[in-house]
Amino acid sequence: LSQTPGCSVGFLKILTPSLIFTSIYRRDFYKILGVSKSASVRDIKKAYRKLALQLHPDRNQDDPTAADKFADLGSAYEVLSDEEKRKQYDAYGEDGLKEGHHGSHNDIFSSFFGDFGFMFGGNRQGQQDRNIPRGNDIVLDLEVTLEEVYSGNFVEVVRNKPVAKEAPGKRKCNCRQEMRTTQLGPGRFQMSQEVVCDECPNIKLVNEERTLEVEIEQGVRDEMEYPFIGEGEPHIDGEPGDLRFRIKVMKHPVFERRGDDLYTNVTISLVEALVGFEMDITHLDGHKVHIVRDKITKPGARVWKKGEGLPNFDNNNIRGSLIVSFDVEFPETQLNDNQKEGVRAILKQASVQKVYNGLQGY
């Protein structure tokens, strides 16, 4: 079967043995991605994205096995991210997969990072030296919920963009103003400005479409950006600009974020404040945070729950705290004289009536 142009069917790569990944149809795709057999599609995407940046051959120029590891990673993602292929793989192993891998790994990589995403980390290195004109950048505000910040998520988008393609004929390019000297007669010259252009191959713009995957990483902060290199607007004489997703974390009806900590308020009854109570707070991913109070809870009291905040962006294993502030709801109905006596008898609290300036901290 001949190789199809633009579609790498990595047969040769499969034949090359390497240290970590076993050869010829025996690769453990789960191990390559570092995920468990029960991993969700989201976990798989997340693992691919993290490893792809690390293992890209351009980043590992000293490693002779880099290209193989990278190809294995692409194959692993291609199989495990597709429901059908994953089922076949789980049942029959790599041998059981249908002939050949049809997607080019470049396609998969660029759906996470953009066409030029191999310029890792979003930096266009060497760009300044070459002075190549660049198309405009596109910035898209991506609204995310606090639930997504807590658990992470992937957003698929379809990017329809104009792409510069060669067309028959020539066009004018690099047009500039030049001074021309024309001779009017012996010893008489005239200087005039003229527009002078070069000839370049003709370009037309064709709309192309592809899917991109944006990861909402756990703990992501407001205004953080995820660039997709080369997915912005084209430039007829140069390179396309970038597409950047700017994260905008939306307000939440229950939780307020401060850094990695979460704040919430709970209103309890006066009875509960005095005699104690037990309650559950439903967290962003559905799990319950249990709170037990057997002492008196004053208005403004805070309960500090360590580890119940948001995961830290740089290290997901570190979590902030959940701080619960209590306020007390007093009964609506007025007390009659008997009840008032009863309250005085039970509480046995002397009259206080302290007068002070509360707004200045006295």
Q: Which CB, 126 or 286, lies closer to another protein?
A: 286
Nearest approach in angstroms of CB 314 to another protein is 16
Q: Which CB, 139 or 328, lies closer to another protein?
A: 139
Of 214, 204, 210, which Cα lies nearest the Cα of 166? Answer: 204
CA dist., res. 60 & res. 54, Å (int): 8
How remote is the C-alpha of 310 from its chain's centroid? 16
Beta bridge partners of 214: 155
Nearest approach in angstroms of CB 133 to another protein is 12
Q: Which CB, 9 or 301, lies closer to another protein?
A: 9
In angstroms, what CA-CA distances link 120 with 60, 212, 315?
Answer: 12, 17, 21
Residues of 117-128 as b/e, b for ≥16 C-beta within 10 angstroms?
bbbeebebeeee
Nearest approach in angstroms of CB 80 to another protein is 16
Binding residues for another protein (CB under 8 A)? 1-2, 4-7, 9, 40, 42, 100, 102-104, 107, 135-143, 145, 147-148, 150-162, 205, 207, 209-212, 232-236, 241, 243, 285-287, 307, 317, 319
In angstroms, what CA-CA distances link 352 with 297, 336, 349, 355?
Answer: 19, 22, 8, 9
CA dist., res. 134 & res. 28, Å (int): 42
Residues of 158-194 as b/e, b for ≥16 C-beta within 10 angstroms?
ebebeebeeeeeeeeeeeeeeeeeeeeeeeeeeeeee
Beta bridge partners of 134: 239
Q: Which CB, 140 or 196, lies closer to another protein?
A: 140
Q: Which CB, 212 or 268, lies closer to another protein?
A: 212
Q: Which CB, 144 or 273, lies closer to another protein?
A: 144
Nearest approach in angstroms of CB 270 to another protein is 34
Nearest approach in angstroms of CB 357 to another protein is 39
Nearest approach in angstroms of CB 70 to another protein is 18
Q: Which CB, 90 or 233, lies closer to another protein?
A: 233
Tokens representing residue 17 in the block: 């043995």
Q: What are phi and psi of 245, to 5 degrees?
A: -95, 125
Of 62, 59, 67, 55, which Cα lies nearest the Cα of 16? Answer: 67
- The residues, ordered by sequence, that sit 6+ positions from 14 with a Cβ below 8 Å of its Cβ are 23, 24, 25
Q: Which CB, 317 or 357, lies closer to another protein?
A: 317
Nearest approach in angstroms of CB 202 to another protein is 15
Nearest approach in angstroms of CB 248 to another protein is 10
